């Protein structure tokens, strides 16, 4: 049996599908031309390996499938930190690290509850769709405030980056290709307006301002291309995944009433609970790397040049790492979920995402005596690497 991203079992019973490979062929080669890792330790090892590259835009097959190296979308992605290695990656990671500093995140510990209050006041009691009223607007507002994107631009940011974000999908359809290359220049023009305004204003704590007013480790300024790519990436990385942490996390709690009661009685366990929820049902399912040298993973040799996928939701259910992995246990200690990746590209927004989801769950439990699912099987949105709900209808009773 070969792993296939199109296998219907990935939609109907993905954890059983992963279990099969984890138990029988954990370092798996497929005739589609790539490898897939399923065990926690193997995935952790690959993500930390100096022989694992994220620089897909430099790969000629990858670039050609997206319109070639001169296409707007490949030029955009070739500057994205998520898809760079070594020094080029570090110079961007450093400036993003400044913006996601403890001091700035502490400011959001005050700001996030204000946004949550506004959203919950507007959603009100009764039957409510959590995805459209809370899970989506909260992370969009937070990441836009973090970057310095004014509210009137946010709908365009979301509408234009959604097709562009599909550039990292495993394969790109001809219609997608045209759409993302049509939107990349429009998105660039919008960002250039913000960059121009930030250059003319004194420095503030936002990403655009920080990139405009600081120099990289070689003393050179960040270019417009660096800033456009980082803004686009941070917007996508900062909201799509957090939406799903909120949606999938709340769904898991509602399907496990004992866990929900435990959290209601002990809101102080929230950070541990969020770590466990992201192990149990991670919002990002896969990541990929290109090998720059021959490596041995779990005893299996894999040659240089091969593409290797890692399955985060299989790592989270690996019994060699987590006893009784299919049980949601909010008191589980030492989780260290790989849902936020590991190694040089480990997620930089984990604390912020935890503050957002944790604040929302705490406030929901505080306001509502009962929270019930209004649909036993909320619809799932088709997306190859995100585990996404299309809607999450609940009944909120004060
Ligand atoms: C539940 C929420 C989130 C999840 C599950 C998540 C997951 C991830 C994963 C899996 C990666 C690495 C992918 C790889 O290794 O190829 C990543 C990278 C990243 N994430 Fe997150 N993320 C979340 C929220 C956020 C937020 C809120 C921000 C910022 C506002 C953020 C900023 C970043 C950045 C900047 C990177 C790139 C790091 C690099 O390339 O060095 N993330 N995230």
Using one digit for the tens of pLDDT, what is the confidence trace for 139-188? 999 999 999 999 999 999 989 888 888 888 877 888 889 999 999 999 99
Residue nearest to atom 18 of ligand 1 (CA): 347
- Distance (Å, whole) CA 229 – CA 390: 27
96 Cβ contact list (under 8 Å, min separation 6): 81, 207, 230, 234, 348
- Distance (Å, whole) CA 261 – CA 253: 9
Cα separations in angstroms, 278 against 148, 174, 348, 396: 28, 34, 15, 24
Atom of ligand 1 nearest to the CA of 288: 16
Look over the chain and give the mean of its residue pLDDT values, rounded to a whole number: 94
- Give the pairing type, strands 370-373 and 393-397: antiparallel
Residue 394 burial by Cβ neighbours in a 10 Å radius (0-12, 13-18, 19+): buried
Question: Per-residue pLDDT for 382 more than 80?
Answer: no
Atom of ligand 1 nearest to the CA of 287: 16
- Distance (Å, whole) CA 315 – CA 44: 9
For 121-125, 160-164, 380-384, which range has the lowest pLDDT when averaged over its residues?
Answer: 380-384
pLDDT of residue 351: 96
Contact 347 CB / ligand 1 (< 6 Å): yes
Q: Averaged over 10-15, what is the pLDDT?
A: 91
- Residues 36-92: pLDDT tens digits? 999 999 999 999 999 999 999 999 999 998 999 999 999 999 999 999 999 999 999
Range list of H helices, the chain: 9-12, 14-24, 40-48, 60-64, 72-77, 86-99, 102-123, 130, 137-147, 154-164, 174-200, 207-213, 224-255, 257-265, 270-280, 312-315, 350-367
- Residues 295-345: pLDDT tens digits? 999 999 999 999 999 999 999 999 999 999 999 999 999 998 999 999 999
Contact 241 CB / ligand 1 (< 6 Å): yes
List 42's β-bridge partners, or say none: none
Atom of ligand 1 nearest to the CA of 353: 27
pLDDT of residue 6: 87
- Distance (Å, whole) CA 332 – CA 323: 10
Residue nearest to atom 36 of ligand 1 (CA): 347
Region of 341 please: left (phi>0), alpha (psi -120 to 50) or beta. Answer: left
Buried b (16+ CB within 10 A) or exposed e, 125-154: eeebbbbebbbbbbbbbbbbbbbbbeeeeb
Contact 287 CB / ligand 1 (< 6 Å): yes
- Distance (Å, whole) CA 302 – CA 50: 14
Phi, psi for 303 (deg, rounded to 5): -75, 155
Please choose from 90, 237, 342 the residue to mutate so as to test ligand 1's pocket, defined by most ligand atoms within 8 A of CB. Answer: 237
Give me ligand 1 centre to Cα 258, in Å.
Answer: 30
List 297's β-bridge partners, or say none: 300
Q: Is the CB of residue 386 less than 8 Å from the CB of residue 162?
A: no
Q: Which CATH superfamily is domain 9-397 in?
A: Cytochrome P450 (1.10.630.10)
pLDDT of residue 387: 78
Please choose from 83, 289, 345, 347 the residue to mutate so as to test ligand 1's pocket, defined by most ligand atoms within 8 A of CB. Answer: 347
Report domain extents, the chain. 9-397
Report which DSSP code applies to 191.
H
Pairwise pLDDT comparison (384 vs 221), residue with the higher score: 221
Residue nearest to atom 19 of ligand 1 (CA): 347
Contact 348 CB / ligand 1 (< 6 Å): yes
Cα separations in angstroms, 47 against 98, 151, 287, 345, 388: 23, 36, 9, 8, 24
Residue 28 burial by Cβ neighbours in a 10 Å radius (0-12, 13-18, 19+): buried
């Amino acid at each position: 049996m070969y792993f296939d991203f199109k296998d219907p079992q990935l939609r109907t019973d993905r954890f059983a599908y992963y279990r099969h490979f984890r138990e029988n062929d954990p370092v798996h080669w497929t005739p589609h031309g790539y490898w897939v890792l399923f065990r926690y330790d193997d995935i952790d090892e690959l993500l930390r390996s100096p022989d694992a590259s994220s620089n897909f835009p430099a790969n000629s097959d990858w670039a050609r499938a997206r319109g070639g190296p001169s296409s707007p979308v490949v030029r955009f992605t070739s500057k994205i930190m998520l898809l760079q290695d070594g020094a080029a990656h570090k110079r961007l990671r450093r400036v993003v690290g400044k913006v996601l500093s403890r001091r700035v995140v502490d400011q959001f510990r005050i700001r996030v509850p204000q946004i949550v209050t506004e959203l919950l006041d507007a959603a009100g009691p009764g039957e409510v769709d959590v995805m459209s009223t809370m899970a989506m607007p909260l992370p969009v507002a937070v990441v836009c405030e973090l970057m310095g994107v004014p509210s009137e631009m946010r709908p365009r940011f979301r509408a234009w980056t959604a097709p562009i974000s599909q550039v990292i999908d495993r394969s790109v359809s001809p219609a997608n290709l045209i759409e993302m290359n049509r939107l990349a220049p429009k998105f660039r023009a919008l960002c250039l307006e913000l960059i121009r305004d930030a250059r003319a204003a004194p420095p503030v704590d936002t990403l655009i301002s920080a990139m405009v007013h600081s120099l990289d480790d070689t003393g050179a300024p960040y270019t417009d291309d660096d800033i456009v790519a980082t803004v686009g990436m941070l917007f996508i990385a900062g909201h799509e995944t957090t939406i799903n942490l909120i949606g999938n996390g709340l769904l898991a709690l509602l399907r496990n009433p004992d866990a929900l009661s435990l959290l209601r009685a002990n809101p102080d366990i929230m950070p541990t609970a969020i770590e466990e929820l992201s192990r149990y049902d991670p919002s990002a399912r896969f990541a990929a790397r290109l090998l720059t040298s021959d490596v041995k993973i779990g005893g299996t040799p894999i040659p240089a040049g091969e593409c290797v996928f890692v399955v985060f939701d299989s790592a989270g259910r690996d019994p060699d790492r987590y006893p009784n992995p299919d049980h949601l246990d909010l008191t589980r200690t030492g989780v260290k979920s790989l849902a936020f990746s590991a190694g040089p590209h480990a997620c930089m927004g984990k604390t912020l995402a935890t503050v957002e989801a944790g604040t929302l769950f705490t406030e929901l439990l505080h306001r509502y005596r009962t929270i019930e699912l209004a649909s036993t099987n909320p619809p799932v949105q088709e997306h190859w690497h995100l585990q996404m709900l299309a809607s999450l209808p609940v009944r909120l009773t004060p």
